[in-house]
Amino acid sequence: MTKKTEAFDPKPVLDLIASIEADLQRLKGLVSAKVEKFDPANPHNKTPDGKLTGEGVECCYRMFDEGKSRYTVAQQMKISFAAATHRFNAWRKAGGSKRERTLLG
pLDDT in tens, 61-85: 999 999 999 999 999 999 999 999 9
Confidence (pTM): 0.61
Question: Is the residue at 5 inside a domain?
Answer: no
Report d(CA 57, CA 60) in Å as an integer. Answer: 5
Instruction: Give the per-residue pLDDT at 103.
Output: 67
Question: Is the residue at 12 inside a domain?
Answer: no
pLDDT at 3 over 90: no
**Total tally of structural domains belonging to the chain:** 1
pLDDT at 2 over 80: no
Q: In Å, how far are 15, 25, 26, 72 from 86, measured between CA atoms?
A: 54, 39, 39, 14
Instruction: Give the per-residue pLDDT at 64.
Output: 94
Question: Is the residue at 92 inside a domain?
Answer: yes
Reduced to 3 states, what is the DSSP secondary structure of residue 26? helix
Question: Is the residue at 28 inside a domain?
Answer: no
Range of 80's domain? 39-97
pLDDT (mean) for 35-59: 83
- Percent with pLDDT over 90 in the chain: 50
Q: 60: closest CA among 83, 43, 33? A: 83
pLDDT (mean) for 38-49: 85
